Structure 1
Amino acid sequence: MNHLRIGTRLGLAFALVLSITLALAATAIWQLGALKAASESIVQNEQQRSKLASQWATNLRISWTKVSASMKSTDPALQAQMKKDVEQISADTAVVQKSLMALVDDDEGKALIAKVGEVRQRYTEVRRQLAERADRGESVYADVDALLLPVADNYQKALDAVAAHSQRVLDARQEELATATTRGQWLMAIGALLATLLGAGFAIFATRSITRPIHLAVQTAEAIGAGDLSSVIDAQGRDEAARLLHALATMRNNLAKIVAEVRESADSVATASHEIAHGNADLSARTEQQASALQQTAASMEQLNATVRQNADNATQANQLAAAASSVATEGGSMVGQVVQTMDGISESSRRITEIINVIDGIAFQTNILALNAAVEAARAGEQGRGFAVVAGEVRTLAQRSAEAAREIKTLIGTSVERVEAGNALVHQAGSKMDEVLASIRRVADIVGEISSASAEQSDGVSQVGDAVAQMDQATQQNAALVEESAAAAESLRTQARQLVEVVAVFRLANGAAPAAAPKAAPAAAKPSAAAKTIARPAPAKAAAPSAASTAAPRPPAASKPAPATTVAKATASDDDDWQTF
């Protein structure tokens, strides 16, 4: 809806109301047509059907009267006239039956009419039989009441059922007509109510869609006029009110952007002025600390000279000791190598003895087997082999004793071999340790050489420290002049920052943050003490050269003219580092 113009929106509202009115009129016309068709159906069909049913019943009564009179009369002329009338009534009844069958459109009615037709056919058949008997001169006076009257009664009952059914159908159709009339009235009432609700709702919606953006635009303009730039304008749509809100949102955003930039610049200037004041305090303290640092540096120079001379003497003694230790380690390595060779020979001899003992053990085992075989053969020889059996037993005993001795020697030799192998492993480990000792002694010699080189570098560092002391004296004089110029610039910058913050304090931005007041300069007591501790500690020889290079080129004095806000805002984070370089 907000994407439509106001004129289009109002036109749609009136078009909706007119459309609803036309829809109600069309519904009323359709309902009246339906009621008219239902009324015509009742008038034409149902009443005609009731009329035909009544005529059929009347024809039955007339036919019965004439048939009864004809059957009971003895006058031939009357009988002929009555017969002619009955036939005419029967023809009329057939036409009525056919017309009524055409008007009936329900199954029950058709079934009732079919039943009436069957009863009528039965009535006609009985009547024809009685008429033939009467024509032959027979008396049918008693048979009329006995035979034809029951059939006529059934015929009348069937017609009464058809008439009752027609009346029920007529009542149902009238009730349906009344129901349709009531339903049409309710539909018209509900349609009128819905039309009223839709028209009222659309009118309220269209009115609010026009008045809400205008009310929001008025509130936004009042808030901007009061200096509140924190409101958010939700401008949706493309109508005139939405275009007005878009324009107000653009104006508010641009104004908020300008105020935010001015506030940021004011905060940056205030921060910069605070940093400058803080830097002046640090600079003053550091100027005093540098003077004491020069005295500490001179004392450190004397200690450094004594340390360098002592390091040179220690390096010479360490070099001599390293050479002697290297010679001793070389001799020890040679002796350990000889011991390793000797232990390898002993191990080889032990393995050879073990092999010989194994051979002796095998020979003893074979001798025992041979003695056993000889004893068996002597036993077979009987008395002739008894002496030979004694000798074989002695040989077997000697073989067993030789085997036991060989096993004991083998056990002793095995234990000796294990000990020799353990000693050989220890000798090899001792050789490895001697190699490690020799490598360590060589590393010590290299370290002593490095210490000698470091002593030379320390000597160069002493001279560089002397140059640094001279440069520090020059920087101290420059810092004294810089302190005076920076103090004047800081005071001017602080005044301008305070005025700028007061100017933008009237506006409130979207984040709700108020502009910060110009900070007060805090005393710099902690940083100078830390700097004094750092300067008092003697620096290494390798770090002296970069320090001298960094202090050799002092910064020129700062101008007293305050810098623009954007430049100060970018340089705020590095101001403290710039002060420390002096």
Structure 2
Amino acid sequence: MSHRIPLPLQNTSLNSGFGEFFRYHGWLAPGIRLFRSIGFRAKALWVACAFMAPLVVALYFLQTDESSQIDVGRAELRGIDYLRPAIDLMRAAQARRYALTAQLPDIAERQDKVREAFRALSAHHDALGKELDDAAAFAVLQKSHEALLSGPAPATPDEAFRSHSEYVAMVTALIGQVANGSQLALDPELDTYHLMNLAVLRLPLQAETTAQLRGIATLALRTKELSLPRRDRMTGDMAVLRYLDAEIRNSHREGVENIPENARLVDARDARAATQAFEAAIARILSDGSHDLTPAMLDNAGTAALDHQFALQKQALDRLEARLHTRITHLHAELYGQFGAALFFIALAGYLLLAFYKVMMGGLQEVSGHLKEITQGNLTTAPRPWGTDEAAQLMITLGEMQISLRRIVSVVIDSAENVQTASGEIASASMDLSQRTEQAAANLQQTSASMEQISSSVTQSAGTVAQASASVHDNAGAAERSGQAITEVIRTMDNIRASSGRIGEIIGVIDGIAFQTNILALNAAVEAARAGEHGRGFAVVASEVRALAGRSATAAREIKSLISASIEQVQGGSTVVGRAGEIMQAVVSNAGRIETLMREIADSTQHQHRGVGEVSGAVRELDQFTQQNAALVEQTAAASTALAEQSRRLSSEISFFKLA
């Protein structure tokens, strides 16, 4: 099987034992396991045996059934062969009985016929008695036969009739036993069964009943005495005879009249007419005594009836024998035909199986041969399929596989050469790369050392920048405080200038007062001069006041000039201080910006420090990666060399295949 799909496990018992055996193929597992362990020839033999076994069994049962039917037919033929002397013995005994009751002169002759018929029957008993199981019936008959022939003669006709009737009854019993022992009584076909019923069972009884009626009626006519026992016996026999007539008519209709060939060979009309004539004569005797009937007339009627009845019995027995021979011949022909047909189809099946085997083995051998050539590297062959069966399809598929395999091998050869070339180039490039990688690793180590130094320098710079930033911060604070002081100075200078202005105004007022005082002193002097002596003291005072006013005016003018100069100087100082304030403001502003820049520089330095650390770590990792890459490059170079070697080996191996 091409597909093996495991069934879902429902319990752990499927993992081993019985469940595991049937896990993949279910009920087909035994056959699949068997066929997987044997070759195709054994498989074909198993299949043939599997098909032959029921056919052989069927043929065996067919042969057994046909042989059984043939054996039954042969047994019936042997029964018929046995019955013929038994019927002859019955007829001879009936004739002797009639001779005794009718007191005919040929009793001794008829007794010899009885002995002769019994000897013939004894011979058949010796030959067929064991098979037909007639030992008991024949022993009783033999004993009665010996007693009847060797004993004293019967005293009266009635006693002779009774003893001989008992003897005939024993013959009839033997006939019944032979019919059963030979399976005549169980004949399986309709026409032969009714022929058997006529020839073996009903006609002998009819003949015996007719013979008994003939004997009693003849005795009654001869003695002219129809006693009550005789009447009763004749009445009973007439009833039996009518019953047998009905049975015979029924069997004749079913087994003879409905079959044209039997009707042509077994004609019952004469026997029926003779029997009816005899029955009419007996009926006349029973009804009125029929004194007009003579013993000779009744004898003729009875003898004619018996002759026709035995003639009909012989026709039926002969026809039964012929039909049994025909049946046996037909069974033989049917058996041979069935066996012939079976053997023909067996031979046909064997022929087809052999052809199938040859076709499959031929296809498998062809495929096997090409597969062996493929295993030896020969891809130049191509299978030659014939027909459209599975073996041909397999060869076509094999041819397509060879084409694909040739294409694949060709591609593999080209690819192997390309891989070999590429692997050489890769190995060379890998060696160069390895050297460059090693150089890069060395450079990275140097770079890593330099980055460590840079990191140390950046760390120191960061510290210095931090200190400078602190100093700048302090300077900025001092500059700011100086700016504030300058602002206060400017403010003070403005106050001084305002105060100086005010002082100037006051000095102006004083100068005005001094001028007015001088004028007043002058006026006072004029008045004092006018006053003369009286005004001399006032003149002195006025002179002193004038002098004081002059000095005050002079002092006021000097102070005013000083104040003016001071105001000018204060204004110049205020201007200078203003410029200095502006400069200090610029210094403070610049100091703030410098502080901001220093903080940014410090932050940048910190970032640079971290970045340099990260770069240093990255360089170290890059150095590790470079060293690992160098190792991998060396491995790649080794792998490329190995790949080149494997490519050469692959090229060597693939060159094993022959493409042309």
TM, length-normalised to structure 1: 0.36
TM, length-normalised to structure 2: 0.32
Larger Rg: 2
